[in-house]
Structure 1
Amino acid sequence: MTELTSKFEDMTGSLALPATGKVQKNEVFGKQKPAMPRILISVHEELAPLKAVWQALERRGDCTVFQSYTWLSAWQRHIGTKQGVKPAIVVGWDSEGDALFIFPLGIERGTVCRKLSWLGGDLCDYHGPLLSSQFSHYVSAAQFPALWADIRETLPSHHIVALSRMPERIGGQANPFMTLGGMRAHASSAHMTMLKEDWTSYYEEKRSSGSKKRDRQKRRKIEELGAVSLVTPETDAEKLRTLDVLMAQKSATFARMGIANLFDRPGYREFYRDLAVDPEADGLIHVSHLAVGDTIAAANWGVSFGGRYSYVLASYDEGAEAARFGPGMIQLMELMSHATGTGHTVFDFTIGDEGYKEQWFEVEIRLYDYIEPNMLIGWAGLGPRIAYLQIKRFIKQTPVLWRVFTRLRAARGVLSGACVVRA
């Protein structure tokens, strides 16, 4: 053990921790000097007993919506359990029993090895810890690698660590995981734009005269088909109807592009439906659609958290007459106006390097992956994993290769669809 570690018994008498369900192991971290604060580490197999502590840290500390209790508990309930992921949530406590950080980790049991990764999987555009505002007073950047090494020893047995999609900053703080060696750039970045106090000022500054002219022309054309408005359903039934339309529209797009349908994966459809109507997610999830007359031309499932509106899931009806006039872009501008009017200061386009984002974003968020083997089996699986990530990033960052790849993928989707029809 490193010098950051002392014995658990030193602190048990002075900490009054909440009842937190199953606790696998506990350690105390802190230099062997009276002046240096010590940290009690606990590892938990269940989310529910940590709810109050977790949500208090969300309010007072730094994290993204993808680390919120509401998001991750829904993911674990609908998806994590089906994927064989067992939570291994690390909580760091100060001497007063307050949470300094939460690392929402889990261990997935694969065919060959057990992988330690962030809870939330591919439904989290950003991964990372929840950090108290006091975190850096307890753990410096230089100390974090040693702390992480000790946490690794405290965690249940695993063969490989695979922590992906980590930003360089968590709110106003540096992400401590960036101090670990061997970070690799993720295949894609995320993008966001800073909103102004009113939509008109933002729009006038952001769009060129030519772009504004085209926006007006398309708006007039689509209005000839019916009144255009952004509708936010109020009842659960209306929200679910909009979401079902979104999933149907998005599924058609996936098929055209040759992409596996997200909603066919076990638990994914239930995840989105649950959060759309969960009272715990009230104010967090924004379900809406672009109405053109009596039809839903486009639909949206967005997220509001900490003054940031995240553009997470959107669709449009590719087969409708309105599709010729860019209902997806009209919906996007309506959503940005909505976000401005509801007090958001940031519009987050989230992960992905889609071309339309170039028209709007000023801030690129680079993301990083960390992969580390823990045992011989982990070393055996490390090479293929790294090779896959490097090839994926190279293809995505090379425009010619990415265009060829997307065309081949789309062609495969068309051929697959044709086979299904003939069958």
Structure 2
Amino acid sequence: MQTPTVLHDQFSSSEAQDARERESAREILAWSQVDIRLVTDTGAIEKDWRRLEAMNRNSLHQGYDWCRAWGQALGRRQIAIEGRIGERSAFILPLEIVPKAGIRVAAFPGDHYNNLNTGLFDPALGQPDAQMVQTISRAISRALRPVADLMVLDCVPLVWRGGQHPLAGLATIENQNHSFQLPLFANFDATIEQLNFKTRRKKFRAQTRKLEAIGGYDHFVPETPDEKHALLDTFFRQKSERLKLFGLPDVFEASEIRNFFHRLLDAPTNGTDSPLVLHSIRLKGEHAGHIAAIAGLSRKGDHVICQFSSIDETICPEASPGELLFWTMIEQSCHKGAAIFDFGVGDQLYKRSWCTQETVLHDLLVPVTLKGRVAKPLLTLSTRMKAAIKGNPRLYAFAQKLRSKAHAG
């Protein structure tokens, strides 16, 4: 199994998108001209929001439909910090206010169900120097003062798609989690060659033969609303049973979280772009209709992110249906012009077996009030402790045992 290369910047934008964004960036927007304000009616900036979310470097997790689905499902009011130059929106930071330990935290909607966050920035914005970064920080703090004590932008790559994040100077601490990606090529064989082509191909053929021996399978992608929502409910059952098997809490158990993902299924698509599409391995023959593996993919531009996955090993577990599903989805993504297959945050063996790149993420903390200034070092210490535990196999195993016992109790 290869070890992913740890990089802060491993992917550039697609050539066509690069050309469009370079064209729009010929006129450099100066940060000194940006007027930063608090927006309490996010519907009023939908047009600007959708224009900025289309930019290649901006994460799909700050997309309008993603944030709206989250807010509606959890009943949370959303706001935004917007930077404008005249009539033009230069950047938008979608936020929600979440109370934590007695302080009001302004954070990206989506919580830890987001895999990578950037905010939304016009590519024409120049890169601010250190002094300007502090000026921006103070302006954001002033704008948020009526509603928040601390702004926490988590899981932000300081460099992404060939460019440095405009607010990289506000990076407070490295997040305890990294994210993992596989670069894609139009030629699927060239993509798999990054992962030891002969071994992977041999494994795929063996998996296929094992399933063919019990009647075969198909790659099932539901098309009707009823099929989509039924398959998502199957995922929730599968995941719950799998987590219970390992004594871990079900992070999808809450009805609000399930509602969020059901809403994403109903969100509009744009060509190949979609907030959520379900894929599965469905058995044929004597086990016809049995769903052996499920995954949910999101796509924006040439960036595909796996949001979740599950397996059911009650039938032919030796065929590794989860591995087979990833093979199938990655092959399809190559053929459909994607450049990145993103396995998201969290260090797991199956991700390392597929990925050649590892992206370092940071948290950006901006105190707004005295409470926020007191809370900032405490949150930083908490992140360091989590990172230390995850970096020590023995400590992490012990922490997982305690977590299992607490959940069982």
2:391 aligned with 1:393: no
Q: Structure 2 matches for 1:250-399, cutoff 5 A?
A: 250-279=239-268, 283-284=273-274, 285-293=276-284, 294=288, 295-318=290-313, 320-382=314-376, 384-399=378-393
Q: Which has the larger radius of gyration?
A: 1
1:73 aligns with one of 53, 68, 73: 68
Match of 1:131 among 121, 136, 153: 121
Structure 1, unmatched stretches of 5+, are 1-34, 417-423
Could you tell me how far 1:289 is from its partner in structure 2? 1.0
Contact 2:298–2:306 (Cα < 8 Å) also in 1: yes
1:60-99 equivalence runs, <5 A = 60=55, 62-79=57-74, 81=76, 86-95=77-86, 97-99=87-89
Deviations 1:347-394 (A, max 9, x none): 111111111222222221101123354444335544543332222111
Q: Distance in 1 between matches of 2:234 and 2:149?
A: 42
Q: Distance in 2 between matches of 1:171 and 1:79?
A: 31
Structure 1 equivalent of residue 149 of structure 2: 159
Picking from 28, 39, 42, the partner of 1:44 is: 39
Q: Is the contact between residue 61 and residue 132 of structure 1 (CA under 8 Å) also seen in structure 2?
A: no
1:116-135 deviations in Å (ceiling 9; x for gaps): 22222112111232110111
Q: Measure how far apart 1:314 and its partner are.
A: 0.9
Tell me, in whole angstroms, the C-alpha distance in 1 between the residues paired with 2:56 and 2:312.
40
* SS of match in other structure, 1:234: coil
Listed as ranges, the gaps of 5+ residues in structure 2 are 1-29
Shift of 1:251: 1.0
Per-residue deviation, 1:174:
1.1
Q: Does residue 115 in structure 1 map to residue 105 in structure 2?
A: yes
- Confirm or deny: 8 A CA contact 2:194 2:356 kept in the other structure: no
Q: CA deviation at 1:317?
A: 0.9
For 1:174-226, what per-residue CA distance to the aligned partner results, in whole angstroms no more than 9, with x for missing partners? Answer: 11222026x21111100111111122332245225344433322321122122
Does the aligned pair in 2 maintain the 1:61–1:133 contact within 8 Å? no
Letter in 2 for 1:264: E
Query: Cα gap change, 1:281/1:287 in structure 2, threshold over 3 Å: closer, same or farther?
Result: farther
2:400 counterpart of 1:406? yes
Aligned length: 373
Residue by residue over 1:147-168, the C-alpha shift from the partner in whole angstroms, topping out at 9 and shown as x without a partner, is 1212211223332332211111
Equivalent AA in structure 2 for residue 117 of structure 1: A
1:349 partner SS: strand
Give the C-alpha shift of residue 406 in structure 1.
3.1
Task: Indicate the SS of the match to 1:331.
Answer: helix
The CA distance in 2 between the partners of 1:71 and 1:231, in whole Å, is 24
Q: Percent of aligned pairs with the same residue?
A: 22
Structure 2 residue 195 is matched with structure 1 residue 201: no
- Please say which of residues 238-247 and 387-396 is displaced more in the overlay: 387-396
User: CA deviation digits over 1:319-344, x for unaligned, max 9?
Assistant: x2222321111111111011112111
Does the CA contact (< 8 Å) of 1:62 and 1:132 recur in 2? no
Over aligned residues, Cα RMSD in angstroms? 2.4
Where does residue 176 of structure 2 map in the other structure? 187
Is the Cα–Cα contact under 8 Å of residues 80 and 120 in structure 1 kept in the other structure?
Answer: no
Is the alpha carbon distance of 1:140 and 1:99 closer, same or farther for their aligned partners in structure 2, counting shifts above 3 Å? farther
The CA distance in 2 between the partners of 1:215 and 1:172, in whole Å, is 33
Decide whether aligned partners of structure 1 residues 215 and 367 sit closer, same or farther in structure 2, where only a CA change above 3 A counts: same
Matched letter for residue 307 of structure 1: D
Separation (CA, whole Å) in 2 of partners of 1:270 and 1:250: 16
SS at match of 1:370: strand
| TM-score for both structures, normalised by structure 1 | 0.81
The alpha-carbon distance between structure 1 residues 115 and 412, as it changes in their structure 2 partners (threshold 3 A), is closer
Measure the CA separation in 2 of the matches of 1:379 and 1:279: 40
1:153 to 1:198, Cα distance in 2 relative to 1, 3 A: same
Q: In structure 1, how many angstroms separate the alpha carbons of the residues matched to 2:235 and 2:56?
A: 34
Q: Say whether the 8 Å CA contact 2:304–2:342 is kept in structure 1.
A: yes
Q: Structure 1 residues 128 and 204, CA, compared in 2 at 3 Å: closer, same or farther?
A: closer
Closer/same/farther in 2, CA of residues 112 and 37 from structure 1, 3 Å limit: closer
Q: Distance in 2 between matches of 1:155 and 1:161?
A: 8
Paired residue for 2:238? 249
Q: Report Cα offsets for 1:289-311 as digits up to 9, x if no partner.
A: 11121211111111011111111
